[in-house]
Amino acid sequence: MKKLLICKNKLAEKLRKEDGLGTVEIVVIIAVLVGIALIFRDAIINFAVNIMKNVFGDDTIINDINSSGIRNSNIIN
């Protein structure tokens, strides 16, 4: 009975420790951000291309980027 009580106390103590929770939270946040980036990949690429068109105003840069080529070469199954 005494061993059971000791095991119960050790388990309760381990559950109260929050040492690794910060790391888990960061990993979950990164996973969510990567998922959102994959879902909205086309919109993000088009947004970046439009910004570069406004900033540089030169179509050679846009042709080098070719956002449709990026999307076609990285097809998600």
pLDDT tens column, 17-54: 766 678 888 999 999 999 999 999 888 888 887 888 78
| Angle, in degrees to the nearest 10, between helices 21-39 and 41-56 | 70
73-37-49 Cα angle (round to 5): 65
pTM: 0.49
Cα 37 from Cα 44, distance rounded (Å): 8
